Amino acid sequence: MEARRAAGMLIRRDTAVGNWTAAPSPDPNTAPSTHPLNPVQRGPPYGTTTAVVGGVPTIATDVPISAVLLALFLASAAAHMTILQLNKRRGLKFLFSGMLFALCVLRSAALSMRMAWAAHPYTANVAIAAGILTQTGSVLVFVINLILTSRLVRGWQPALGWHPATRLAARLLIAGVVASLLMVIAVTVQSFFTLDTGIRAADRTVQLVAGMYMAVLAFLPLPILLLAGRVLPRTQRIEKFGAGRWRSKVRLLIFTSALATVGATFRVATGFAPRPLSSPAWYHSRACYYCFNYVTDLLISAAFLLSRFDKRFIVPNGAKGPGDYAKGRPSPKQSHNFGQALTSDEEIHLDSPGLASDTIIWPFTSETLSVSWQPQILPELP
């Protein structure tokens, strides 16, 4: 009798395909279906009675898709690492390129694990590893977007952006990401190896809360940008930094934050809408699995890479307060060396106070040139 009751409760979280949330406990009178993780349902880890996003991978379908995405992520990782090393040789610190390199490596590892799972569908440890790795990449995007957003806020609203309370709030949000990720990994592993309904319920709660926290964090840059750029009044000119137009920086963060929000929202929403194993919904398809877990991150990585965000968001080392960002804007010589052109209305100022009308002055330098010269203006970044 006890064995039959235990068999009726056999269930595990659908982490193997990348969801944050556990499926609810099935009807105690319903025996679980056979599952590749544990086809005979004996001993941990335990199979699932609910549909999972992406399903169990197969060699014919999942390996080719994963191989293509793997190649793209490896190429993106190589590009970010190249930029990181080039900037390092020039004495420029931009660690976000290294974080995106780590994102691409984690995504590559997750795809490799999924291909291994397709080749060994009855190996539980591979499936568990594939599910955990699927979750560990996107959090880096959330952190990058949040920090870059704080830099724009400091440019728009220096007093607010540099306020100690604002800086503390940003650090607490990032600390929450780390804590949530560690808790999710812990309860995920635990949920594979227990039949206790109370423990599984607690695990599910942790997974749901962490998933919602990640979705909110992914979305957070959008209202912050709106509030700092459009709602709050400005008492001074924008304190610009880096290269390129200010509006291009804003649009880039809006794009990446929107994509990150779509992926995070999908992952947590699927946990609130479980379906029986025999009746999966449209959001359990392989297309949804790859698009919302991998394609979104690949597009974000490509957007940062192609826009050369390392030039757009670079700020002076040791910046600690209002005015520090503007001190580090590139001179014309630096713009020539690194391809960091300012917008045309910032490159030259004609008829400036205290200068003759036939004089051109380059900003942030003491050099003046006669207008009879024909200096070549570098093309601006879009």
pLDDT per residue rounded down to tens, the chain (382 residues): 444 444 433 333 343 334 443 344 444 344 444 445 444 445 677 766 677 788 889 999 999 999 999 999 999 999 999 999 999 999 888 999 999 999 999 999 999 999 999 999 888 888 888 888 888 888 999 999 999 999 999 999 998 999 999 999 999 999 999 999 999 999 888 888 887 888 888 888 898 999 999 999 999 999 999 999 999 888 888 889 999 999 999 999 999 999 999 999 999 998 888 788 778 888 889 999 999 999 999 999 999 999 999 999 998 888 888 888 877 655 444 444 444 333 333 333 333 333 333 333 333 333 333 344 444 555 555 5
Predicted TM-score of the model (pTM): 0.76
User: What amino acid occupies position 23?
Assistant: A
Residues 6+ apart with CB under 8 A from 17: 52, 53, 54, 55, 130, 131, 134, 289
The beta-carbon contacts of 198-204 under 8 Å, at least 24 apart in sequence, are 200/11, 200/22, 200/25, 201/25, 203/13, 203/22, 204/13, 204/21, 204/22, 204/24
pLDDT of residue 380: 56
List of long-range contacts for 329-335, beta carbons under 8 Å, 24+ apart:
329/240, 329/241, 329/242, 329/363, 329/364, 330/242, 330/243, 330/364, 331/362, 331/364, 331/365, 332/362, 332/365, 332/378, 335/243, 335/378
**Cα atoms in the 13 Å half-sphere on the side-chain side of 90:** 15
**Residue-level length of the chain:** 382
Provide the pLDDT for residue 61.
93
> For position 344, what pLDDT does the model report?
33
E strand or H helix at 361, and its extent? strand 359-361
**Cα–Cα distance, 312 to 310 (Å, whole number):** 6
